[in-house]
Amino acid sequence: MAYRTINPATGKVVKTYDDISDAALSEAMDVAQACYENDWPLRSIAQRAEVIHAAAELMRRNRDRLASLATLEMGKLIAEAKSEVTLSADIFEYYARMAETFLKPQPIPDVPNAAIETFSLGIILGVEPWNFPYYQVARVAAPQLMAGNVLVIKHASNVPQSALAFAQMLEEAGAPKGAYTNIFASTDQVGRLIEDTRVRGVTVTGSEGAGAAIAERAGRKLKKSVLELGGSDPLVILEDAPFEATLDNAMWGRMNTTGQSCTASKRVIVVGKERGEQFLEGLRIRMSSLRAGDPADPATTLAPLSSDNVMTGLLQQIESAKAAGATVVTGGGRIHRPGFYLEPTILTDITEHNPIYTQELFGPVLSFYVVESEEEAIKVANATSFGLGASVFTANLERGKAVARRIESGMVYVNRPVWSAPELPFGGVKNSGYGRELSVYGIREFVNVKTIVVK
């Protein structure tokens, strides 16, 4: 697997890194295990919090440099990259502050002298994606390091400089050698690591295929896994939703990170034919007004896709959708300039027999549906194998919550697109995976919840 930085705005290779050798990987695992046996979990929660707090401060202090690396490597608009770094720092700060509360012994009601105490497990292996090169890692690293585990992280092959910067930041914050280890590993090497007896859990964010393969291998070794996989999040617009505010939110929900987010609002479902026509035209105007440019330029409104493969895959999906009867309202093609730019696209007239009715569109391509009733909107929202996030827009908050409860997903937001905060559990159901990250649930995924009874 070639770890290299390819600037998505130009298509040019910037820097290349070698895969880790088997010997170096073996040594890294020895160091991580030694850190676990002799150092990191033996420190008090307060001592671990000093390192994690320092990491948060370093992230904030170096926000512009870290953001520039993300923009260079995966093409994120610079303002969005800065926001990602800030959110990652907030996650570190949150766990540094809250871990002692989350991990403190819990008495068992009605059983005298019985309590539940929480202990670390060992080395946790993380396989992380490219679309949020800091946030995705932060929501694993912060809780698991505070729990006393140590981490070995295999990052995506197209964000090696971001991966190295994250590891360096933790080292500068005072993390001992082996507490956090970045590896430029191959797929075969990752497979062998899953089977290594020192690895006690595996967490992955990625595609359905990658998640299934890793979970299967971990399961054969009786190791717990957490999977955060794809999503085809619906954004349901009820009849009374305010027009302009909902349009603005739908645009942000679809186009944040150029649509390359598991929780992006990939399917807009509007109740009512007349309202549907109005929202379709509003979205067409907004999406067609975006202008491609250098993502490092604050004036740019349309960033490139992360890679040629992502762009080619989306173009193929658009063609398949058209062949099955879908209508292209705007966009639909590649922007003819250097780099991996795709026209913001809206597809409508999508029937149940169209392949994109159930597929995930990981980029600036929006599926648009008009339905006659709330019941039909819920049916379309749930007509997917995914169940990560969803949004409902309405002027009636109680109605919005009632609809939210009927949507099959791990997260539903009323009157805003799906997003993330350290305090909110993140994760899905169905083919979107299992397990949770962030909040108290995130720190409890890879721990030994031990019952201690004294008689």
Catalytic residue numbers, as ranges: 228, 262
Nearest residue to 7 (alpha-carbon basis) of 296, 362, 200, 260: 296
Phi-psi label, residue 156: left if phi above 0, alpha if psi -120 to 50, beta otherwise: beta
What CA–CA distances, in Å, run from 311 to 153, 346, 443? 27, 16, 36
Which DSSP symbol is given to 268? E
Q: Are 349 and 304 in contact (CB under 8 A)?
A: no
Pairing of strands 345-348, 224-228: unpaired
Task: Please enumerate in sequence order all residues whose Cβ is within 8 A of that of 342, keeping only pairs 6 or more positions apart, or say none.
Answer: 305, 311, 314, 315, 331, 333, 334, 335, 363, 364, 365
In whole angstroms, what is the distance from residue 136 CA to residue 354 CA?
Answer: 32
Please, which residues bridge with residue 183 across strands?
154
Q: In this structure, is the dihedral angle defined by the CA atoms of residues 21, 23, 26 and 31, taken in order, positive or negative?
A: negative
In whole angstroms, what is the distance from residue 338 CA to residue 341 CA?
Answer: 8
Task: Please enumerate in sequence order all residues whose Cβ is within 8 A of that of 332, keeping only pairs 6 or more positions apart, or say none.
Answer: 318, 322, 343, 345
Give the burial string for 39-70 (b: 16+ CB within 10 Å, else e).
Answer: ebbeeebeebbebbbbbbebbbebbeebbbbb
In whole angstroms, what is the distance from residue 390 CA to residue 418 CA?
Answer: 6
